[in-house]
Amino acid sequence: MLKEVADRTQNASRNVKDLFNLTGRVAIVTGGSIGLGRQIAEGLAEMGANLVLCARKKERCQHAAEDLQQLGVKTLALGCDVKDPADIQRLVDAALSQFGKIDVLVNNAGISWGAPVEEMRLEDWNKVIETNLTGTFLCAQAVGKVMIKQGRGKIINIASVAGLGGAPPALPAIGYHASKGGVISFTKDLACKWAMHNIQVNAIAPGWFPTHMSNRVLERDREFFLSQIPLRRFGSEHDLKGAAVLVVDGGQSAW
């Protein structure tokens, strides 16, 4: 009897591991060369996924790709501006040429711009919205066409706790907050639209993580931000590995 229980436990453990096994899968990570994108890419590679890393600075992607190859996966590094539909199509075409399929898309590329609302220039507002929200749409649209033909796929959009509500005047980044709120709503709606194609669309909403984009703000107001976090710490380089914000209800709560 004990052996039977042990065998069942072992099989259950193996099955759970299989759920997270990405061996042979192909994942695109936009903005995957540094920061949160690099952390997520590393987590995917640790589970066996081959990676397509893209960002505006191709050199950074090449360095990241070389490092991640040490985990035993194949990588492809590309330059891509997610505001440019032609750039995105070249990304998709290159991924298909190299790997023949796209299983996962992580929409991580993003920027921020700080200015009081009354002084925010339209060009700066547009730059943030076009990168964070329109870029997420354009990448999902282009990769989604491939996933629809495949009959399956996973899309993970990187939102932010900033998209869940307002912020004090110490954080004058209304364009960033608005864009991430849009990403959250976009994620819910796209999940409903593409469930019929066996494409699951989810989002991750990180809090404060020390990254290339946030370091300056965190260094300036470190104690203030820590005082707002019950755990009294910022995110670490491992906290986002394997994380996803989702309810296991077949998408019911997204309606």
- Our measurement of the distance from residue 72's CA atom to the centroid of its chain's CA atoms, rounded to an integer in Å, reads 22
Bridge partners (DSSP) listed for residue 50: 26
Decide if 154 contacts 200 (C-beta within 8 A).
yes
Amino acid identity of residue 138, one-letter, is L
- Helix/strand/coil (H/E/C) assignment for every residue in 69-117: HHHCCCEEEEECCCCCHHHHHHHHHHHHHHHCCCCEEEECCCCCCCCCH
- Which residues have C-beta within 8 Å of that of residue 54, sequence separation ≥ 6? 28, 29, 30, 31, 32, 61, 77, 78, 79, 80, 91, 109
List the catalytic residue out of 99, 176, 194, 209: 176
d(CA 56, CA 109): 9
Task: Specify whether the CB–CB gap between 80 and 55 falls below 8 A.
Answer: yes
Distance in angstroms (rounded) separating the CA atoms of residues 150 and 99: 14
Q: Does 176 participate in catalysis according to the annotation?
A: yes
Instruction: Take residue 170 and report the two structure tokens written for it.
Output: 């110490």
Task: Give the phi and the psi of residue 238 in degrees, each rounded to 5.
Answer: -110, -10
Tell me phi and psi for residue 199, to 5 degrees.
-110, 120
Q: For residue 225, count other CB atoms closer than 10 A to its CB.
A: 17
The residue with tokens 């900033």 is 162
- Supply the residues annotated as catalytic: 176
